[in-house]
Structure 1
Amino acid sequence: MLNLFLTFLFLIYNEKLWTNYLACDTFLNITGDERMIYVGIKNGVLLFDAKKIEYLKSLTKLDGILENLKLIAYDRELNSLWLLDDSSNLMNYSPFTKKKEIFKLNINPQAIGVGKQFLYFLVNEDTFKWDKKKRKLLKIEKTDDTSLFWYGKKKKYLVKDFIFLTPYYYLDENLNKYYYREVFVSKRNLWVSADDYGILVFDLTVKNLVKVFPFNSILGRIKKIVKFQKNVWLIGDDYLIKTADKIWQWQFIPISFSTKIYEKENLLKYKFLELFYKKPVTLLTNSQDLLAYISEDNIYLFLPDYSKPIEIRIPTFVENISFLNDTLVILTQEGFYLFDYKNNNFLNFLNYPQELKLGVFSFISLKNVWYLGVRGGFWIYNDNKWEKIILPINDLSEPVKELVSFNKYLITKIKNQIIFFDTKRQLFFFLKKEDGLLGDNIYSLAVDNNKLWITHEKGISFFDLTSLTKRIKK
């Protein structure tokens, strides 16, 4: 019998619960002072602590800023940001109080100059002056403001002003070139943007590279999250990322089938990396030191005591694979299979609902209770009894392709929302855009260290699950 459960929205946006690493292929400009650095990208602003050289957070439309940004400029007098978008909307925004004002300009500036009393705009060869208090725009012949700091087409700092950056691109270990676009000086450090690579920080005294913050387009192409050997790995179509506590410590590894880059000494301990240059891997799952993956429609199982993987053939398309004790659970479009890898044989499991033969897409076991994701919901198997849970969504043809857990909560995703299911009280809770969820397409979920990892086309987000459960209990 199908069950219906109470559903409701439980949160409003709270920036303290979120950490976002935004994907970016082109940087607009860098601004700030000796305390803070602000990096503009198309749909947000990255904030850094200039003294500690640490990433702090990002600002997006959820924080009230404009979208489709064109330029950003820091105002020392007001301790705020000037944001200009593609439609010539100008916003004055305080990153700390979120106080803002929006103005519509009847010009299309290519550069912004920030002075004590005035803003200046460069439009082709013409210059305009805008009084910050009176909000009046005047065309002028020249500027005599000695406090002026330009951003955009006309700028104070140029990449070629710093000879030690020659040949003006960053060359990674795979000999890929990433050209420098913008530079900004903050005391003894030089902040540099390299398109589709990230933000680099150089020490101007000794002229050496201090840190790299890899904000690039790869972050928006992560389709799977895998926990393996105490590390969280992010898997995309063309890159693997070994994560760490700080983003500047993350290790980006290109997936190449023609080179043996993974045999480098520092990566040999991660045996599964060898898979990626031998055959294309479409799916990967693991449990402790056990590893299973799908390549070219076949399933391969790595066991600690075996030098070669066990090959498992299934006569239908495999949707997902998961571990359960000494068994590999194989989910397909025609049901699920249980493979006993210790005895190398399939187990007979006949007592299950016929609907499961229409496709099983995800699986998780919590305290000996099975949850199997199907279209529009999931089946629960407990004490030899089956029960179906229907998700409170409009389109029940949507498959449940991800199931993860945190304490008593089962977590899944459907399109651009995340759904929490309280397995004890049998209640649903939603996490949507208005709650702080970025991205229109959620690719993958994982839980690690009380954080929910979320990958989507706009980057990677982390949600504080400890705060979440406290709020739900209230």
Structure 2
Amino acid sequence: MNYILILLVSFVFSQNFIYNSDDWFTISNPGYITSIATTKDEVIISAKNGVYSYNKYTQEFLFIEDFVRKFNSNSYYMIHYDNYRDYLWILTDENLSFKPMSSNFWREIDFYELNLNNHYNILNIGCSAEYLFLNVGSEFIVLNPYTGSIVTDEVDGYSDIDWTGSSRNILSHNFDLSRFHSYEGYNFISNSQIEYNGRFLDITAITLDDNYLWVGTNSGEIFLCDLSLRNAEKIKSMPLFSDLKISYLDERMEWWFATNDLITMYDDFILRKDQIFMLRWIEDENKWISYNQKKYQHIRSSDITCFYRSDKNLYVGTYHGLLIFNINRKKWILLSSVSDNLKSDHILDLEFYNNQLFIATKSGIDVISISDNIMIKNDILSQLDGLIIQEIKIKDDNMFILSDTGLFKYNIILKEMYSLINDNFKNMILVDKNNFLLTKRNKVLNYNINKNEKNTLVQIKNIKDIAKCENYIWINVNRKVILYDMTKKVSFEYDSKDGITGDMINQVDCDENWVWFTTDKGMSFFNWNKYHE
């Protein structure tokens, strides 16, 4: 048996710092739920995308970052709470681990110590007042619940065992779920399936908790079933998909998300006319709102490239034109090259200035009036027709335009255009009126307009995007992020060992206190300023 406590020194050096519980938090949909365990105060869920907890009293749904940092595994197959000893057990693809709930250190049991080949042999985990039990199909393996060692003495009786509600071993019970009613329109067809608007969800885990049943599904949705009232209520304090392509924080401090998935929450069951198009998260209320977009069915959430909100309207750039969503009325309209003479339907960026929205496209820049969404002709900007406009930044009355041929400056008041530099860059950040950060695939440069000088700050392979806060640059290189200190000229590497969930980082952004990583398994937030003042 291995003790993670013995390996504490190597563990500490595999991450940048020893973090407190409030340094990181993640929003994520669980995906396929593999097991559900309950304690007095919370529900603990193992799932495809990680391990989660739901507070029964505050109704707060949380991704538990410690499991990301402390296990190399991306697969959590079963979790069990031993209520007799207040211990937690977890089965991953690498081993079986356990710890007291009050401890931070896990003990690991390798499968060969249990005379097992791998995790597939364990169908369920249970406990009694004296022992810990593993259901391996034809027999039970009995363990000492404090040491994890196999009990060789004969054990009398296996009737009083508390088993985990697991997808591998759905617990038998005497409750007919088809008799439960949902005010939200979920129809419990049987003890194994739920129907909702023509979609079918498989029930993957059921756990009895006093007078309630907790029901998990293959979609990541969780239901609380009241045995007395015979009603089922869906847990709402979680996002409905996890593979987040883009995140956008508007001026009202509300979040908007697009996904790379058609419908992550329904796995293989996709109804094209009723896809979830985008999500809105009102963070202060922890309220999640999903929006469908049925009018233009050829445009999917994965086609979204950027967002901009102006009061009641949300402007959504896509590969197929500019969608304008009236948030209050929930109405959509589409501006396109065919109907509205956009220079290109492929939109890359949106920037606002003085009641005008500047639209960066794959073939120049368009301008519309925010007040009536009517196109505005601009002869000076037409000089850029045919160029791929990657980004637009506005400082005071000057617009800085990054294209596939170089960087331009456009004075909006004087209507004058200047070419600043001829080269192909990927990203642009305006530091001040004279300095830019520019990226190529393998390096970050500082460009001074007045001196017309480029200086390489750092060389890193596979740069996807960057964000700058204070005197630090966050550099996304797909599977990890590099933090570069521009003053001390040192770098820090952040990845899953620190708390970033997911296998692929799609976007990075930050403010003076927090950095957020938009990934294929959700979005992780880190209180970076606490460690890099």
Q: Scaled by the length of structure 1, what TM-score is found?
A: 0.78
CA deviation map 1:313-342 (0-9, x unaligned): 632333333333344433222212334556
Match of residue 93, structure 1, among 91, 96, 99: 99
Indicate if the aligned counterparts of 1:26 and 1:41 stay in contact, CA closer than 8 A.
yes
C-alpha distance in structure 1 between counterparts of 2:468 and 2:101, whole Å = 34
Give the structure 2 partner of residue 155 of structure 1.
171
CA deviation map 1:118-160 (0-9, x unaligned): 2223333433333335722569899434243343314256884
Instruction: Tell whether 2:237 aligns with 1:213.
Output: yes
TM superposition shift of 1:10: 9.7
Query: Aligned with 1:435: secondary structure?
Result: coil
Residues 452, 164 of structure 1: alpha-carbon distance in 2 compared, 3 angstrom cutoff: same
1:430 aligned partner, one-letter code: F
Match of residue 457, structure 2, among 379, 390, 393: 390
Residues 142, 419 of structure 1: alpha-carbon distance in 2 compared, 3 angstrom cutoff: same
How many residues align? The count is 443
Q: How does 1:171-320 map to 2 (within 5 A)?
A: 171=196, 176-187=199-210, 190-201=213-224, 206=229, 207=231, 209=233, 211-214=235-238, 218-227=241-250, 229-237=252-260, 239-245=277-283, 248-254=286-292, 257-258=296-297, 269-273=312-316, 274-275=323-324, 278=334, 282-287=347-352, 291-294=357-360, 297=363, 299-310=365-376, 314-320=385-391
Give the structure 1 partner of residue 194 of structure 2.
169
Indicate if the aligned counterparts of 2:348 and 2:362 stay in contact, CA closer than 8 A.
no
Give the structure 1 partner of residue 481 of structure 2.
418
TM superposition shift of 1:458: 2.8
Residues 290, 268 of structure 1: alpha-carbon distance in 2 compared, 3 angstrom cutoff: closer
Cα RMSD, aligned residues only: 3.8
TM superposition shift of 1:432: 1.6
Residues 147, 178 of structure 1: alpha-carbon distance in 2 compared, 3 angstrom cutoff: closer
Match of residue 73, structure 1, among 80, 83, 96: 80
C-alpha distance in structure 1 between counterparts of 2:42 and 2:447, whole Å = 51
CA deviation map 1:217-255 (0-9, x unaligned): x32232353535543322334542222226851223345
Residues 282, 91 of structure 1: alpha-carbon distance in 2 compared, 3 angstrom cutoff: farther
TM superposition shift of 1:29: 1.1
1:164 aligned partner, one-letter code: F
C-alpha distance in structure 2 between counterparts of 1:102 and 1:92, whole Å = 7
2:39 aligned partner, one-letter code: D
Give the structure 2 partner of residue 42 of structure 1.
48
CA deviation map 1:246-280 (0-9, x unaligned): 68512233455239999xxxx99234254486367
Larger relative contact order (Cα-Cα within 8 Å, sequence gap ≥ 6): 1
Query: Aligned with 1:466: secondary structure?
Result: helix
C-alpha distance in structure 1 between counterparts of 2:124 and 2:56, whole Å = 24
Query: Aligned with 2:132: secondary structure?
Result: strand
TM superposition shift of 1:467: 1.2
2:446 aligned partner, one-letter code: W
Residues 236, 406 of structure 1: alpha-carbon distance in 2 compared, 3 angstrom cutoff: same
Residues 47, 249 of structure 1: alpha-carbon distance in 2 compared, 3 angstrom cutoff: same
Identify the range of structure 1 (122-131 vs 111-120) with the bigger mean alpha-carbon deviation: 122-131
C-alpha distance in structure 1 between counterparts of 2:131 and 2:209, whole Å = 23
* Structure 1: gaps spanning 5 or more residues: 1-8
TM superposition shift of 1:117: 1.7
Instruction: Tell whether 2:408 aligns with 1:337.
Output: yes
Residues 176, 123 of structure 1: alpha-carbon distance in 2 compared, 3 angstrom cutoff: same
1:269 aligned partner, one-letter code: K
Give the structure 2 partner of residue 113 of structure 1.
126
Indicate if the aligned counterparts of 1:127 and 1:140 stay in contact, CA closer than 8 A.
no
Indicate if the aligned counterparts of 2:448 and 2:454 stay in contact, CA closer than 8 A.
yes
Give the structure 2 partner of residue 83 of structure 1.
90
C-alpha distance in structure 1 between counterparts of 2:244 and 2:313, whole Å = 22
CA deviation map 1:204-228 (0-9, x unaligned): 5553526313355x32232353535
TM superposition shift of 1:413: 2.0
2:401 aligned partner, one-letter code: I
CA deviation map 1:50-107 (0-9, x unaligned): 22221244142413475422211111122122112235x2111345422211112323
Give the structure 2 partner of residue 444 of structure 1.
507
Q: How does 1:354-365 map to 2 (within 5 A)?
A: 357-365=422-430
Residues 251, 459 of structure 1: alpha-carbon distance in 2 compared, 3 angstrom cutoff: same
Give the structure 1 partner of residue 446 of structure 2.
379
Indicate if the aligned counterparts of 2:29 and 2:49 stay in contact, CA closer than 8 A.
no
Indicate if the aligned counterparts of 2:500 and 2:517 stay in contact, CA closer than 8 A.
no
TM superposition shift of 1:454: 0.9
Q: Scaled by the length of structure 2, what TM-score is found?
A: 0.71
Residues 33, 226 of structure 1: alpha-carbon distance in 2 compared, 3 angstrom cutoff: closer
* Structure 2: gaps spanning 5 or more residues: 1-13, 182-187, 263-276, 302-309, 317-322, 326-331, 337-344
Give the structure 2 partner of residue 3 of structure 1.
none
* Percent of aligned pairs sharing the same letter: 15
Query: Aligned with 2:180: secondary structure?
Result: helix
Match of residue 492, structure 2, among 401, 411, 430: 430
2:448 aligned partner, one-letter code: Y
Indicate if the aligned counterparts of 1:211 and 1:248 stay in contact, CA closer than 8 A.
no
C-alpha distance in structure 2 between counterparts of 1:128 and 1:187, whole Å = 27
